[in-house]
Amino acid sequence: MLGEVILVGIMVGAVYALVTVGYSMVYGILKLMNFAHGDIYIFGTLICLTLLTKYNLHPVLAILIAAIAGGGLAFLVELLVYRRLRAAQHRLISMITALGAAYVIQNISELNWGNQVMSFPSIVKSKFITLVGLQISVTHIITLFVAVLCIAVLILFMRYSRYGKAIDCVSQDMDAASLMGIPINRVVSSVYFMGGMLGVIGGVLYSSAYNAVSLGMGFRGTLIAFTAAVIGGIGSLGGALLGGMILGLSENLIGVYISSSYRDPLMYSLLIIMLLVKPTGILGSSDQAKV
Amino acid sequence: MMMDSKKRKWLLLGGLIACLLLVPMFVTDIYILSILNVMVVYSILCLGLNLILGFTGLLSLGHAAFYGIGAYTTAILMTRYDFGFVAAFCASAVLALVAGIVIAIPTRKVRGDYFCLITLAFGEIFRLVATSWIEFTRGAMGIVRIPMPKIFGIAIVTEAHFYYLGLGILIVTYLTIKAITDTRYGRAFIAIREDELAADTMGINTPIYKIMAFSIGCLFAGMAGSFLAVYQTVVTPSNFRLEESCLMIIMVIVGGMGRNLLAPLAGVIVMTVATEVFRSTAEYRMLIIGLIMILVLLLRPQGIFGSSSFKS
- Establish how many alpha carbons lie within 13 A of residue B134's alpha carbon, considering only the half-sphere containing its beta carbon: 3
- What count of other Cβ atoms lies within 10 Å of the Cβ of residue B81? 10
| DSSP label of B51 | I
- Decide if A232 contacts A239 (C-beta within 8 A): yes
pLDDT of residue B18: 80
pLDDT of residue A286: 57
Distance in Å, alpha carbon of B79 to nearest chain A alpha carbon: 26
Distance in Å, alpha carbon of A12 to nearest chain B alpha carbon: 21
Assess whether pLDDT exceeds 60 at residue B1: no
Distance in Å, alpha carbon of A213 to nearest chain B alpha carbon: 20
- Establish how many alpha carbons lie within 13 A of residue B50's alpha carbon, considering only the half-sphere containing its beta carbon: 37
pLDDT of residue A284: 65
pLDDT of residue B3: 59
Amino acid sitting at position B209: Y
Tell me the percentage of chain B whose pLDDT exceeds 90.
18
Hey, which residues does A118 pair with through a beta bridge?
Answer: A213
Residue ranges of A 161-220 with Cβ closer than 8 A to chain B? 219
Instruction: State the Cα–Cα distance between residues A173 and B54, nearest whole angstrom.
Output: 30
Q: Report, as an integer, the average pLDDT of B215-229.
A: 92
Residue ranges of A 109-138 with Cβ closer than 8 A to chain B? 110-111
Closest Cβ–Cβ partner in B129, B253, B283 for A96: B253
Note whether B121 contacts A268, CB cutoff 8 Å.
yes
Average confidence score pLDDT of chain A: 83
**A2 vs A54 pLDDT, higher one:** A54
Q: Is A86 on the interface with B (CB under 8 A)?
A: no
Distance in Å, alpha carbon of A220 to nearest chain B alpha carbon: 10
Q: Report, as an integer, the average pLDDT of A92-98.
A: 80
Residues 6+ apart with CB under 8 A from B48: B63, B173, B177, B216, B217, B218, B219, B220, B221, B224
Show the beta-strand stretches assigned E in B6-81: none
Q: Report, as an integer, the average pLDDT of B221-237.
A: 90
From chain A, the residues in CB contact with B132 under 8 A are: 261-262, 265
Hey, which residues does A135 pair with through a beta bridge?
Answer: A130
Hey, which residues does A147 pair with through a beta bridge?
Answer: none
Instruction: State the Cα–Cα distance between residues B162 and B224, nearest whole angstrom.
Output: 12
Q: Locate the domains of chain B by residue range.
A: 29-241
Q: Report, as an integer, the average pLDDT of B189-208.
A: 83
- What count of other Cβ atoms lies within 10 Å of the Cβ of residue A228? 31
Q: Report, as an integer, the average pLDDT of A146-171.
A: 86
pTM, to two decimals: 0.83
- Decide if B176 contacts B152 (C-beta within 8 A): no
- Decide if A191 contacts A25 (C-beta within 8 A): yes
Q: Report, as an integer, the average pLDDT of A247-265.
A: 82
- Decide if A231 contacts A246 (C-beta within 8 A): yes
Rg (alpha carbons) of chain B, rounded to whole number? 19
Instruction: State the Cα–Cα distance between residues B286 and A103, nearest whole angstrom.
Output: 6
Residue in chain A lying closest to B110 (CA):
A276
Residue ranges of A 88-107 with Cβ closer than 8 A to chain B? 88-93, 95-97, 99-104, 106-107
- Decide if A29 contacts A175 (C-beta within 8 A): no
Note whether A279 contacts B301, CB cutoff 8 Å.
no
Q: Report, as an integer, the average pLDDT of A176-193.
A: 87
pLDDT of residue B238: 85
Residues 6+ apart with CB under 8 A from B125: A265, A268, A269, A272, B65
- What count of other Cβ atoms lies within 10 Å of the Cβ of residue B304? 14
Residue in chain B lying closest to A89 (CA):
B312
Q: Report, as an integer, the average pLDDT of B274-294.
A: 79
Note whether B110 contacts A279, CB cutoff 8 Å.
yes
Q: Report, as an integer, the average pLDDT of A235-247.
A: 84
* Model confidence pLDDT, tens digit, residues B233-255: 888 888 888 888 888 888 888 88
A220, A251, A252 from A256: Cα distances, Å: 19, 9, 6
Residues 6+ apart with CB under 8 A from B178: B261
**B109 vs A195 pLDDT, higher one:** A195
Among A35, A84, A92, pick the best mutation site for testing chain B contact (most B Cβ within 10 A). Answer: A92
Note whether A264 contacts B124, CB cutoff 8 Å.
yes
Distance in Å, alpha carbon of B194 to nearest chain A alpha carbon: 9
Note whether B117 contacts A230, CB cutoff 8 Å.
yes
